């Protein structure tokens, strides 16, 4: 029996990761900013589900959640950094305070959680950390630059962390979901968005989002099950893309990037000192 700490469990992928692990008999510290929407899981799994109010941008809140988890279950075997916020706007339109809140939630909160669980994982030489990112890191669409940057930073932290802790028996997996039917599109950080008229592509994306915030094809319940199944493999995926056709999109984007690198290889190679 493992113990999981999962952030952002009130709905969507986080909720179904929690439900999946609880159904298989594991313990789960299920967290959200308010525990009101966690009661469904608590009612279903009263002995193994521990609801905790957690604000990932607050270090004391994080430390309290870890303390309560250890008091109830003794240890944390798997951390899932799922809680996150979105932000829509052109780079020029960005509100500094809102962008800071975005990075506090999507990057620094997960980093602080990782730092809190690692000491015990190091001692046991076992554990797993799952960081939920986004296909947006690869697509980096107009209006999504700040969000993509926050998740891209989390991914690079994950890559370095994996190299650091793999010798200690600790797994680190990145998940890049495509469009899934969750509350994500209505949980964006708000700020003084300038709505500059010249950015037509950004306005088009914003208007589409407002018209159909729940039109995604991805099933969060299936995503939750897939994530749990993936991390439990010995040869687990370092990065996994979720959603029908999403892996193909990722391959196409990365193939174009490789071609771009090769195109300018000659100029790049000519920048060393002459021998």
Q: Provide the annotated active-site residues.
A: 10, 133, 147, 151
Spatial distance between the Cα atoms of 170 and 82, rounded to a whole number of angstroms: 18
Name the phi and psi angles at 206, rounded to 5.
Answer: -65, -40
Nearest to 88 by CA among 183, 179, 209, 213: 209
Asked whether the CA dihedral 73, 77, 81, 82 is positive or negative, the reply is: negative
- SS3 at position 86: strand
Spatial distance between the Cα atoms of 46 and 50, rounded to a whole number of angstroms: 8
CB atoms near residue 144 (< 10 Å): 21
Nearest to 171 by CA among 218, 239, 220, 109: 239
Spatial distance between the Cα atoms of 161 and 76, rounded to a whole number of angstroms: 18
How many angstroms from the chain centroid is the CA of residue 223? Answer: 13
Q: What are the start-end ranges of the H helices in the chain?
A: 12-23, 39-44, 59-73, 96-103, 109-124, 136-139, 145-165, 200-211, 220-231, 246-263, 265-269
Spatial distance between the Cα atoms of 72 and 67, rounded to a whole number of angstroms: 9
């Amino acid at each position: 029996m493992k113990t999981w700490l999962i952030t952002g469990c009130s709905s969507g992928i986080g909720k179904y990761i929690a439900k999946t692990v609880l159904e298989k008999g594991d313990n789960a510290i299920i967290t959200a900013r308010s525990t009101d929407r966690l009661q469904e899981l608590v009612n279903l799994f009263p002995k193994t589900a521990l609801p905790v109010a957690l604000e990932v941008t607050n270090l004391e809140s994080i430390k309290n959640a870890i303390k309560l988890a250890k008091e109830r279950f003794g240890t944390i075997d798997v951390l899932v950094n799922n809680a996150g916020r979105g932000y829509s706007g052109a780079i020029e339109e960005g509100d500094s305070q809102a962008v800071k809140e975005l990075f506090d939630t999507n990057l620094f909160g997960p980093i602080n959680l990782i730092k809190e669980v690692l000491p015990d994982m190091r001692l046991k030489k076992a554990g797993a950390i799952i960081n939920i990112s986004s296909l947006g890191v690869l697509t980096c669409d107009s209006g999504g630059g700040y969000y993509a940057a926050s998740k891209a930073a989390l991914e690079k932290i994950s890559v370095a962390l994996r190299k650091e802790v793999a010798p200690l028996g600790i797994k680190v997996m990145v998940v890049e979901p495509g469009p899934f039917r969750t509350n994500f599109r209505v949980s964006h950080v708000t700020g003084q968005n300038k709505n500059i008229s010249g950015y037509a592509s950004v306005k088009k994306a914003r208007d589409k989002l407002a018209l159909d915030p729940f039109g995604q094809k991805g099933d969060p319940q299936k995503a939750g099950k897939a994530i749990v199944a993936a991390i439990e493999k010995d040869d687990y995926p370092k990065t996994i893309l979720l959603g029908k056709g999403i892996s193909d999109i990722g391959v196409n984007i990365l193939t174009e990037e490789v071609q771009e690198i090769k195109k300018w290889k000659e100029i790049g190679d000519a920048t060393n000192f002459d021998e």
